[in-house]
Amino acid sequence: MAEWQSGYAADCKSVNAGSIPTSASRKKMNILLTGCAGFIGYHLAKGLLRNNKVYGLDNLNDYYEVKLKKDRLLELQKLDNFSFFNADIKNTISCYEDINFDFAINLAAQAGVRLSFDSNHRYLDSNIIGFHNFMDYCVKKNISKVVIASSSSVYGNSCLSPFKESEKNLIPASIYASTKLYNENVSKIYAEKYEISLAALRFFTVYGSFGRPDMAYYSFCKDLYLQREFTVFNEGKMSRDMTHIDDIVSGVENVINYVKKFNFYNFEIFNLGNANPISTLDLVNKLEILTGKKALFNFQESLSESSITHADLNKSGNFLKYAPKISIEEGLKEFHDWFVGYHDI
C-alpha cells in the first residue's frame, strides 16, 4: 500500500516508496512527480508506476474541486511504489530528502487562461516562484534528467498553424501562457548551467476521464446534463487540438526514454498534441449526441485566447516516435462513460 503523508515544506519527512530492494526493483527509477493529484499527473503516475517508483507532491489547491484531486490520490494509493507529500512548491521543497532520484517531472502549476487578474498571484506563486523552487530542488538533489510541462498556449495568436516547435514569433495572449514561456526559457538556462538533460512539453488541450472540471469539454458535459445555459466564446469558431490523456501518457513515457539517453546538457521542446483540431461547435455537437441533450448557448467574446491550436507533430514523431492513436469520438466516449459513472448520472 502506498503512503499518503501530509505536511508542508518546513516539516516534510522523507518517505521510502518501496520495501527492501530486490533485483527486479533495482531496475525501477525513482521519479519525482509534482502535481500528481492533477489530471495529467494522476494518469502519468499510474502509467509510470508500472515500472517505477513515483514520489508525488501536490498542494491539493482549490482551483477546482478538491474532492476530485483526493479521489485521484485514493486511486494512486491502491498501487505499490507510490508515495505522496502534501506540499506547496511556492515554498522551498524539502521533502524526500533521503531519496536518490533518477528523474523529475514538474506538472504542478496554476493551469487555465481565464482566471481573473485578481488571481494573478496564483500564477506567480506556482508557475514562477514554484517553478524556480522545483529547478533549485533538482540542482540540490543532483537530478540531471528532467521533464517540465509547458503549453500550446505559448504559440498565442500570431503563429502560423500548424504550430512548430521552431516557431520564433511567440507572443503569449495570457498571463498563464507567459509563465509557461518563461518556464521554457528558464529551464534551458538551468539545464545548460547544471548539465541537465531536459525536455519541455507543449501539451495541447488534454482531455479524458478524471479530467479538469474547468475545461470546456467537461463543463459543457455538465451543463448539458443540468440543462444549463453555457458560455461559448467567439461564436464557437475557436478550434482546439484536443488530445486524449492516454496518448499524452505514452508520449511522456517516450520523452522520458529520450531524455534518459543524455548524460550531459540537452534541451528540447516537444509538441504533444493530436494534429486534428476540432471547433467548439463540433465538440458541443458530439457531446450532445453522447448525452442525448440539446445545448443552450450563451455566446461571448474572449480576447485572451488563441483562435486555433494545432500541433505540428513532425519533431515529436521523429525524435520520440510519438503518434497519437485515439480519435476524438473514442476519446470523448471514454470521458463520457467515466463522467456518468463518477457523477452517478
Ligand X SMILES: NC(=O)c1ccc[n+]([C@@H]2O[C@H](COP(=O)([O-])OP(=O)(O)OC[C@H]3O[C@@H](n4cnc5c(N)ncnc54)[C@H](O)[C@@H]3O)[C@@H](O)[C@H]2O)c1
Per-position DSSP letters for 21-55, written without gaps between them: --TTGGGS-EEEEETTTSHHHHHHHHHHTTTSEEE
Q: ω before 21 within 30° of 0 (cis)?
A: no
Show which residues are catalytic.
176
- Residue closer to ligand X by CB (options 131, 267) is 131
Shortest distance, CB of residue 212 to ligand X, whole angstroms? 5
Q: Which of 45, 84, 88, 255 binds ligand X (CB under 6 A)?
A: 88
Neighbours of 182 (CB within 10 A): 17
Q: Is 52 in the site for ligand X (CB under 6 A)?
A: no
**Ramachandran area for residue 227 (φ above 0: left; ψ -120 to 50: alpha; else beta):** left
Q: Is 135 in the site for ligand X (CB under 6 A)?
A: no
Q: Is 278 in the site for ligand X (CB under 6 A)?
A: no
Determine the Cα–Cα distance for residues 290 and 282; give it in Å rounded to an integer: 13
For the record, the C-alpha cell of 187 comes out as 529551464
Shortest distance, CB of residue 27 to ligand X, whole angstroms? 28
Determine the Cα–Cα distance for residues 40 and 286; give it in Å rounded to an integer: 23
Q: Which of 41, 47, 162, 251 binds ligand X (CB under 6 A)?
A: 41
Residues 144-163 that bind ligand X (CB under 6 A): 149, 151
Q: Is 104 in the site for ligand X (CB under 6 A)?
A: no
Neighbours of 255 (CB within 10 A): 22
Shortest distance, CB of residue 18 to ligand X, whole angstroms? 23
Name the 3-class secondary structure at 214.
Answer: coil
- Residue closer to ligand X by CB (options 5, 25) is 5
Q: Can you list the pairs that 112-117 forms with residues at least 24 positions away whose Cβ atoms lie under 8 Å? A: 112/63, 112/176, 112/214, 113/153, 113/173, 113/174, 113/176, 113/177, 113/304, 113/305, 114/214, 114/302, 114/304, 114/305, 115/175, 115/176, 117/175
Q: Which of 69, 244, 310, 336 binds ligand X (CB under 6 A)?
A: 69
For the record, the C-alpha cell of 141 comes out as 538533489
| C-alpha closest to that of 84 among 46, 56, 106 | 56
Q: Which of 2, 111, 256, 320 binds ligand X (CB under 6 A)?
A: 111
Q: Which stretch binds ligand X (CB under 6 A): 3-11, 30-38, 138-146, 225-233?
A: 30-38
Shortest distance, CB of residue 106 to ligand X, whole angstroms? 7
Q: Which of 2, 12, 40, 320 binds ligand X (CB under 6 A)?
A: 40
- Residue closer to ligand X by CB (options 69, 310) is 69
Shortest distance, CB of residue 245 to ligand X, whole angstroms? 8
Q: Is 277 in the site for ligand X (CB under 6 A)?
A: no
Determine the Cα–Cα distance for residues 305 and 8; give it in Å rounded to an integer: 35
Q: Is 44 in the site for ligand X (CB under 6 A)?
A: no
Q: Which of 2, 109, 256, 283 binds ligand X (CB under 6 A)?
A: 109
Q: Which of 30, 52, 59, 239 binds ligand X (CB under 6 A)?
A: 59
Q: Is 94 in the site for ligand X (CB under 6 A)?
A: no
Binding site for ligand X (CB under 6 A): 34-35, 37-41, 58-61, 63, 69, 88-90, 107-111, 125-126, 130, 149, 151, 203, 205-206, 212
